[in-house]
Every structure is written in structure tokens, then in C-alpha cells.
Amino acid sequence: MTVKAGEQDVFQDALARLSQIANDAGIGSEVMGALAHPMETLTASLRVRMDDGSTQYFVGYRCRYNDALGPTKGGIRFHPGVTLEEVQALALWMTIKCAVVGIPYGGAKGGVTVDPKKLSRLELERLSRAYIRAMSEFIGPDVDIPAPDVYTNERIMGWMMDEYSSILKAKKPGVITGKPISLGGSLGRAEATGRGAFLCIEELATRKGLDRAKTSVAVQGFGNAGYFVAKFLEEQGYRIVALSDSNGGVYAEAGLDVESANTVKQESGCLEGAPPRAGAKGTVVRQISNEELLALDVDILIPAALEAVITAQNAGSIRARHIVEVANGPVTSSGDEVLNRRGIPVLPDVLCNAGGVTVSYFEWVQNLQGYSWTLDEVRARLKDKITAAFAEMWQLAQRERITLRAAAYRNGLRRIANAVEALGTRDYFLDGA
């Protein structure tokens, strides 16, 4: 993650936002002390034999941020922009996220600085296994449970689980979530992040009285989460007018066909050639940049790619009526200030993309029980968790007249504070002196 001009590095920005919200909420200094410092971070050089016989070294990270509420949990991303600061910021957000939806996990995150598109499949497997060998004493089903993230998937999680099991000489499916179904994965995990965001938007639409057929949506980042949230919204009648990936995007005022757009991307590696939705023949589909997509006049803008895409520099050009964060940290704290002044509500990432970690929790529970749930069970339990957390956030925001992000953070911080205080704080010990 490169630092944008005029912005703090991503971790310092995350800490600044947390500090402001916690200060306004009256969160105690001991809780903030625990959340201001990552519990432990491991950095490793990963030695990988390449297909041409050469050896290359890649830097891998794993941060276990806070375990007040339970074993730590967080994805592993393979991306050329991965840095220590990014991993720590993501682990902090995971800590808050797990608390917001009320699951018994702390936060963690991992990553490797690599462009996975330049690796062969065999090189990708060797790198995945090298990462787990380096982290094997740092993770575990009762300690820290990784999952997929940017440019990692269920096959990579399967390799990682297999490597960990080989090291321990025992099958340990609970060490990794987001695995293939045949290796202990959960039904509904692949769609979970997108479904969680979709459920949040449905809650928003109900409370705001939005006419779904007239609600236009733009999705920046047409990866796993972006695809599924667009798919579910389209199925409910929302008009998906723009989609983009790292190569650029497409726009059609009458709406795009999400499933066909996904097929085009899988076959060609980009969205060029994606068709309009059925019944909109004759509609012109034009190519746009990611920057143009962010500035579209739409009802709902969904940044679903990487962090820090909406900043103080471009927040003034945002014309969307609502922003739904599906990526982690797509709006910086300074960008938030501009959007707040302009009256553009932001549904925060710590709830909107919590579907993934929630179903990861369900997968972990199933692995520990040795019993699989049906897809309907997974979806129903996910809906219960997301809608309850949304209602809790919405009610607090309305009652206290604060932003939705501040309300979500306050709810999460309250749960973390309860756990910290249960072990005794300065006030408790002084009272007994």
C-alpha cells in the first residue's frame, strides 16, 4: 500500500480514526492502550524455488492484533502493495469488525508482498506452503485462524491447511477457513462477504424507503465480494450501472448484466465487452476509469477493491447519495470528514464486509464440531448476525446523532472494553486498595 500524497500511512490513519471515535465515546485509556499497539507481529523471508530453478525471496507478514474476545482471525493477501503498516491496519479493523458483529474472535491479518499474477501455479503453491512453514508456530485453531483475502482463494487455503497438517502430522481443518468444501470448508463461504454487504444495503433500503428498481449502483472492484454483492442486488431489482476492476470499468445507464460481465472477465481478464442487462438492448456500454466510476451520479457507490481510494483529495467529487464500504478502509479519515460535511452517509466496512469473517467463524465451529451445516442454515445465521448488528448501529446513530461509522465502532469498542474490564482495570484495583 503506497502512501497517498497528503495522507498518513494507512496504519496511522486507522489509529487516528479509532482514537477520535473512542475519545468521543469515553472509552477508557486502558482499552485504548491495548488497541493502540499490535499484540505481536511476525515478519519472515519466504524462500521459494521458481520454475526456472532460481530461488526468490518474498516478504511475508502476520499480525495478531488483539485477542481480548478470543483467538485472532484474519485473511492473508498476496499483493505487490502489501506492507507491515497495511497488515497492522487491517488487523486493527478486523479486531473492531469481529466485535461489531459479536463473534468470539480478536483481529489479525497476514500478507505477502508479491504479484501473484506473475507466478505459475506451482510457484504459487510453493509460496503458499512457504508462508505456512514460516508462520506455523504463530497460528493454530485455538490461537490464530487465517482466511482468504485479496488474490488468495479457497485452493490456496487448502494448500495452507494441508501444509500445516503435515507439519503437525495431524489433520487440522480448523486452522484455516475459506477452504474447499471437500477439505472442510463451509457452504456459503465464497459468497459470504458479498451477501453480508447485500444484507446491509437491504436494511438501508428498507429504512430509507428506497425503490429498488429505481436505485442505481456502481461497484468499484469486481472481485469476489464485488461480484457477489452486485449479483445479489441485481437479483432484487437494483440497477447495476457500473463495474470496474484493476484494468478499468464499464458503464451503462440502463444497467449491466452482472453474470455476463463476470463471464467476460473470467474469459478475457477484463470487463471490456460486458453487455447491458436483459431488456436494455440498444443501450451503449462505455468504458470508464476507476476514478470516473467513483465520481458517478448514483444512489449507491460500493468501493470493493483496496483501501484509501476515497481521500480528502477526491471526496469532494463524489456524487453518490450513499457509500457502502465493502473493501477494508476504502475511505480515509480525512475523506470521511469531507463526506460528513457534505451529508453523504457511509455504511462502514467493519459491518458491511463482516459477512466473510462471520461465515469463517461458522466454518471454524463446524470444523471443531465435525458437523456440517446446510447452505440455508449458514445463510439464515448470517442474516441474523448482520441484521442484528445493523439495527444496533442504526439505532445508536439515530439516538446519539452520530455517524454510522462512529456508532458501529462504539458498539464494537464497548464489547472489547467489557472483556478488558472483566480482567480488572486500574479503577478496579484502586477501589480495592
Which tens digit of pLDDT belongs to each residue from 206-219?
999 999 999 999 99
Closest Cα to residue 216, out of 346, 335, 319? 319
Q: How confident is the model at residue 242 (pLDDT cuts 50, 70, 90)?
A: very high
User: Helix H segments across 143-223?
Assistant: 154-168, 192-208
pLDDT score recorded for residue 432 = 62
Angle separating helix axes 192-208 and 375-400, nearest 10 degrees? 40
Q: Does the domain formed by 192-352 have CATH 3.40.50.720? A: yes
Q: How confident is the model at residue 32 (pLDDT cuts 50, 70, 90)?
A: confident
Which tens digit of pLDDT belongs to each residue from 402-421?
999 999 999 999 999 999 88
* Cα of 24 vs its chain's centroid, Å: 25
Which tens digit of pLDDT belongs to each residue from 304-349?
998 899 999 999 999 999 999 999 999 999 999 999 999 999 999 9
CA angle 335, 338, 342 (to 5 degrees): 140
**CA–CA separation, 263 vs 257, rounded Å?**
10
Check whether 235 has a pLDDT greater than 70: yes
Q: How confident is the model at residue 4 (pLDDT cuts 50, 70, 90)?
A: very low
Helix, strand or coil, per DSSP, at residue 76: strand
Q: Is 432 exposed, middle or buried (0-12, 13-18, 19+ CB in 10 A)?
A: exposed
Q: Where in the chain is the domain with CATH 3.40.50.720?
A: 192-352
**CA–CA separation, 314 vs 323, rounded Å?**
14
Q: Is 27 exposed, middle or buried (0-12, 13-18, 19+ CB in 10 A)?
A: buried
Helix, strand or coil, per DSSP, at residue 298: coil
Q: What is the pTM of this model?
A: 0.92
Q: Residue for cell digits 463482516?
A: 354
pLDDT score recorded for residue 190 = 94
Taking all residues of the chain, what is their mean pLDDT, rounded to a whole number?
94
Q: Does the domain formed by 38-183 have CATH 3.40.50.10860? A: yes
Question: Largest Cα–Cα distance of the chain, in whole Å?
Answer: 79
**CA–CA separation, 158 vs 379, rounded Å?**
23
Closest Cα to residue 49, out of 114, 117, 126, 112? 126
Check whether 378 has a pLDDT greater than 50: yes
- Name the pairing type of β-strands 106-113 and 216-220: unpaired
DSSP annotation of 393 = H
Categorise residue 202: left if φ over 0, alpha if ψ from -120 to 50, beta otherwise: alpha
Check whether 24 has a pLDDT greater than 90: no
Residues contacting 269, CB < 8 A, separation 6+: 247
Which tens digit of pLDDT belongs to each residue from 255-309?
999 999 999 999 999 999 999 998 776 678 999 999 999 999 999 999 999 889 9
What is the percent of the chain with per-residue pLDDT over 90, rounded to a whole number? Answer: 87
Q: Where in the chain is the domain with CATH 3.40.50.10860?
A: 38-183
Which tens digit of pLDDT belongs to each residue from 94-136?
999 999 999 999 999 999 999 999 999 999 999 999 999 999 9
pLDDT score recorded for residue 8 = 58
Mean pLDDT of 173-185: 96
179 is catalytic: no
* Selected catalytic residue, list 4, 73, 97, 109: 109
Q: How confident is the model at residue 433 (pLDDT cuts 50, 70, 90)?
A: low
Contact 278, 257 (CB under 8 A): yes
Q: Give, for 78, the enclosing helix (H) or strand (E).
A: strand 72-79
